[in-house]
A = this chain, B = another copy of it.
Amino acid sequence: MNPEEEKRATPCSSPVFVHNPHLDVMKDDVLYHFALGTATHNLPAMFGDVKFVCVGGSPWRMKSFTEYIAAEIRMEDPESEYPNICAGTDRYAMYKVGPVLSVSHGMGIPSIAIMLHELIKLLHHAHCEDVTIVRIGTSGGIGLEPGTVVVTKKSMDATFLPKFEQVILGKTVERNTDLDQCLAEELLQCSKELNQFETVIGNTMCTLDFYEGQARLDGAFCSYTEKDKQDYLKKASEAGICNIEMESSVFAAMCKLSGLRAAVVCVTLLDRLKGDQMNGSHEVLQSYQLRPQILVGNYIKKLLKAKAGRSCNSATV
């Protein structure tokens, strides 16, 4: 083998990084909000083969994703009910089928951040390598037909800047919210091949609040007019923002810090330029919510099929 061939033949493995020297001297590590721990569970045996992690707000959706992906990658076990790995707590739900882990994260930045701290430590303790993580979620769209799927280019804050502000010891630290552009393009390409629904790549605004923070007129409190709302959303649109949700910025920041290849795939449940209330029929909203999981499920299936021929520059599975 010449050096170039050898390089291609040798998987370029990328571990999941923690950045915390204190972890090295801890006797064991309790992942409290998962009801798991290094002293009580054999994490490498339980999770060492994980290559894909899908996360979403709703525990029900993450269970349904597991059932869906099991059928897609033909690893379903008719005897299995896919038990919740975090059954000892009601903070998060976690399911696993083959190399795919599915974890719920609740709503909002703090809730997903707790989950990600413990997930990153879990993947680290389990010696996982080359992990791809995708948030599959719901969002409000700006000027898009409801049901459109948005793959996030940049996650932006409420002032339309691509950054996440982390408070550490009372001081604010800015973190980069870059996501993997190559992964985003691959997901877009996968959606084109599927040809079941519209998918776009665009910026996503991440807010700390669903009502006043997203310029909704239907919260318990509202001190602005319909025109103020429209002006704000227009400015967001001019900054390339296609949709609004509540977790992408810290997700992007933490995945980047830990070397996880990350994407955010959210369906838009409504067009915020036309309204604020989620008053579509239950069936229609439910069918929209399936779209990110269909897209990501197909992407995972495609990657697992192409396992042998994949080069280290995109994803090594």
Contact = CB atoms under 8 A, between A and B. Distances in A.
A254 B217 CA distance: 16
Chain B CB count within 10 A is highest, among A167, A211, A219, A232, for A219
Chain B CB count within 10 A is highest, among A23, A110, A215, for A110
A43 B25 CA distance: 55
Contacts of A169: 215, 224, 228-229, 232
A29 B208 contact: no
A33 to B, nearest CB: 8
Given A29-B277, A213-B166, A279-B30, A110 B18 contact: no
Contact of A211 (B30, B111, B114): B114
A158 interface: yes
Interface string A162-173: 000011111000
Contacts of A223: 19, 168
B120 A220 contact: yes
A132 interface: no
Nearest to A112: B108
A14 interface: no
Contacts of A106: 106-108, 111
Given A32-B277, A114-B210, A210-B113, A221 B20 contact: yes
Interface residues of A, number: 67
Contacts of A228: 169
Nearest to A278: B32
B279 A218 contact: no
B108 A217 contact: no
A158 B171 CA distance: 8
A109 B110 contact: yes
Contact of A18 (B213, B221, B226): B221
A68 interface: no
B117 A107 contact: no
Contacts of A135: none
Given A20-B218, A107-B110, A114-B211, 6 more contacts: A33-B107, A108-B113, A158-B167, A166-B213, A168-B215, A170-B235
22 contacts: A19-B221, A20-B218, A23-B218, A26-B277, A30-B278, A106-B106, A108-B114, A109-B208, A110-B207, A110-B246, A113-B209, A114-B209, A117-B210, A117-B221, A168-B212, A168-B213, A168-B223, A168-B224, A169-B215, A169-B232, A170-B232, A221-B257
